[in-house]
Amino acid sequence: MQAFVDTIRAAIAAATGLPDAEIRLESPKNPEQGDLAFPCFALAKAQKAAPPAIAAALAPKLAAALSGIACTATGPYLNFQIERGALARTILGEIEARGAAFGSSTEGAGRTIVIDYGSPNIAKPMHVGHLRSTILGMALVRLHQALGYRTVGINHIGDWGAQFGALVVALRRWRGEVDLERDPVMGLLALYQRSKAAIDEKSASYDAAFAKEARDAYRELESGTDGDVRKQWRWVTQVSLAAFAKTFARLGVAHDLVRGESYFESHLQPTIARVEAAGVAEVSQGALVVMLGEIDKGLKETPCLLRQSDGTTLYATRDLAAVFDRWKEFEFERCLYVVGGEQKLHFRQLKAVLKRMGLAWEPRVEHVDFGLLLGPGRVKIASRKGAVLVLDELLDEVVDAARERVKEKSAGLANLEAVAEQVGIGALVFNDLKRERIKDVIFEKDEVTSFEGETGPYVMYTHARSCSILRKAAAAGEGGAEPDWRAIASASPVLLQLGRFPTVVRTAAAKAEPSELAQYLLGLCREYNSWLAERGNKVLGEAPAVTSARLALVRGVKIAIANGLRLLGLAAPEEM
Ligand code: ARG
């Protein structure tokens, strides 16, 4: 597709003298008018003429200059229509040649994208917010990789903070009262919740002695002493990480770095010193803060807290330390934080501090926020057993639903279990990615696992169906003839959609919006399935030249879908 765009742009440049940067082609509002359009408004000033008159004068000149591409004027627009045979040959030829690399490029070579995603907290199970972060983050990693960037996926585990002082005290006092053997994370959660109440002055279970011991314990942890507190904390970290690893593996995620907040322990004092040296820190009610009102009026009342009056540090201190470290190590093009909208204030503060410090790379730091994941009726998704949702349970549920669907569709499938897992997880992932990320996601397992509608299984099934056509063709020895491209003239909406794939990958990455790709895939499948359903578009058993052309289209679509699914983190089973 790019080849056509380049040819047309060169012809416009030659005919008008416009600089390259000003020649932007669009998709015509009405696809009947052409495949690409050029609005003539930019020329009006220089030529002192109305855009429609300019378009009318240019059309015959461009039509004569371009071969295989028709050019007509419609109002202020020049519309270009690529000859159908050339369109099919070029686009399908490119897909065939590039295969699994179709859609990818090297434009990001030499540049690094840091992506902070997943990032659960120890002593608690991963929740649905972490699930969304993981799914979105994984897609952003793959999209940037496809564009040739070096990506560094970081799991910024929440493993530091005052709450762990309280948890250690809870372990001292109540260890015998919970089961820490069978499911340590659930046991720790119970202790964690109980300890939170014990240090909360507003709670009925508030216990002043407990609260003091908890503060002392956190101070001991932060002091670096390798005593009992640290030993307990280390154990909590280990069992939690082991549990997270299982969930991540099931989702197909492997972080490049697991760097929890505790990693920055030795960076905390230097970080504070650096902010102080920049002259932006001040003491307020015994705490060290950075006032942000000058940078961002909305933050007037919410300074960034770097150090509490008792000397301990905060979430923000650790994030500052982390971002300094990331910049030093990677000089990133972008540092993306895939974290829910609840933390908007935190990241706004973080960026404002960087700005106040005069750090030129501040705009490269981006909070990629997202909405909630809710159950039908917009209620919080709960688990079968209790209030806390265990992610693995949700995954099991969706895989069970997918297994039933697959059994219905392809009875006797040899690798049913593996396919059910791929389809189930894929259904969940696609459902999370198909809408703009800031919107809330409603998870309804029967809906998301359906093979029809705007679902992952629908896209996967379209792929599997294409694989089946190709298998039958191979078995019957069809598809070897020289293609007659006129046999897919009516498929030009599908071809144009295929041609857009590389652009969609680029925009989805640039906007950190995987939904652009998910929506693209739905559109491609819709166009393609309706073309296949049209009478007269039979693929197999036609005249050899006709079958060859149609098989090339099937193969092109199959490759684009497989590549798109892969970038979103879904599998593309050949049978389902
Ligand atoms: N652990 C945090 C949470 O669960 C998310 C961390 C996000 N990353 C970061 N650098 N702050 O809420």
Tens digits of residue pLDDT in 204-261:
999 999 999 999 999 999 999 999 999 999 999 999 999 999 999 999 999 999 999 9
Report the nearest atom of ligand 1 relative to the CA of 319.
Answer: 10
Asked if 13 contacts 20 with a C-beta cutoff of 8 angstroms, the reply is yes
Dihedral sign (CA 520, 522, 523, 529): positive
Question: What pLDDT does residue 352 have?
Answer: 98
Closest CA to 84 of 557, 496, 520, 528: 496
- Cα 504 to ligand 1 centre (Å): 29
Question: What pLDDT does residue 380 have?
Answer: 83
For residue 511, what are its two tokens?
Answer: 């906007």
3-state secondary structure 159-182: CCCHHHHHHHHHHHHHHHHCCCCC
| 337 Cβ inside 6 Å of ligand 1 | yes
| 82 φ, ψ (degrees, to nearest 5) | -80, 140
**Cβ neighbours for 62, distance < 8 A, ≥ 6 positions apart:** 11, 12, 15, 71, 78, 80
Contacts 24+ apart (CB under 8 A), 176-184: 184/239, 184/240, 184/243
Question: What pLDDT does residue 511 have?
Answer: 98
Cα-based torsion angle of the residue sequence 315, 318, 320, 321 in order, rounded to the nearest 10 degrees: 180
| 159 Cβ inside 6 Å of ligand 1 | no
Residue 31: pLDDT band (50, 70, 90) is: confident
Q: Coil, helix or strand for 36?
A: strand
**Cβ neighbours for 502, distance < 8 A, ≥ 6 positions apart:** 1, 2, 102, 103, 104, 105
| 261 Cβ inside 6 Å of ligand 1 | no
| 339 Cβ inside 6 Å of ligand 1 | yes
Residue 391: pLDDT band (50, 70, 90) is: confident
As a whole number of angstroms, the distance between CA 526 and CA 524 comes to 5
As a whole number of angstroms, the distance between CA 292 and CA 79 comes to 51
Tell me the DSSP string of 360-392: TTGGGEEEE----EE-GGGPBP--SSSSSPPHH
As a whole number of angstroms, the distance between CA 124 and CA 83 comes to 60
The 8-class DSSP code of residue 337 comes to E
Q: Which residue has the tokens 């440049």?
A: 13
| 369 Cβ inside 6 Å of ligand 1 | no
Closest CA to 233 of 319, 166, 307: 166
Question: What pLDDT does residue 384 have?
Answer: 59
Tens digits of residue pLDDT in 197-216:
999 999 999 999 999 999 99
In this structure, are strands 441-442 and 287-290 parallel, antiparallel, or unpaired?
Answer: unpaired
Q: Coil, helix or strand for 454?
A: coil
The average pLDDT across 379-402 equals 81
Residue 386: pLDDT band (50, 70, 90) is: low
Tens digits of residue pLDDT in 462-501:
999 999 999 999 999 999 999 999 999 999 999 999 999 9
| 450 Cβ inside 6 Å of ligand 1 | no
**Cβ neighbours for 185, distance < 8 A, ≥ 6 positions apart:** 123, 124, 125, 239, 240, 243
The average pLDDT across 439-449 equals 95
**Model-wide pTM > 0.85:** yes
Residue 46 has pLDDT above 90, yes or no: no
For residue 525, what are its two tokens?
Answer: 């499948």
**Could you tell me what percent of the chain has a pLDDT over 70?**
99
Note the residue count of the chain.
Answer: 576
The average pLDDT across 270-276 equals 98
Residue 94 has pLDDT above 70, yes or no: yes
Question: What pLDDT does residue 427 have?
Answer: 98
Report the nearest atom of ligand 1 relative to the CA of 261.
Answer: 10
Which letter, b or e, does each residue of 439-453 get, where b requires 16 or more Cβ atoms within 10 Å of its Cβ?
Answer: eebbbebeebbbbee
Question: What pLDDT does residue 387 have?
Answer: 60
Helices (H), 278-389: 315-330, 344-356
| 347 Cβ inside 6 Å of ligand 1 | no
| Domains of the chain and any CATH numbers | 2-82 (3.30.1360.70), 163-250 (no CATH), 379-448 (no CATH), 454-568 (1.10.730.10)
Choose one of 115, 116, 119 to mutate for the ligand 1 pocket test, by most ligand atoms within 8 angstroms of C-beta: 119
- Cα 156 to ligand 1 centre (Å): 6
The average pLDDT across 100-114 equals 98
Output the average pLDDT for the chain: 95
User: From atom 3 of ligand 1, which residue's Cα is the shortest distance away?
Assistant: 120
For residue 97, what are its two tokens?
Answer: 């040649």
As a whole number of angstroms, the distance between CA 517 and CA 504 comes to 6
The average pLDDT across 80-89 equals 95
Asked if 479 contacts 541 with a C-beta cutoff of 8 angstroms, the reply is no
Tens digits of residue pLDDT in 321-361:
999 999 999 999 999 999 999 999 999 999 999 999 999 99
Tens digits of residue pLDDT in 464-473:
999 999 999 9
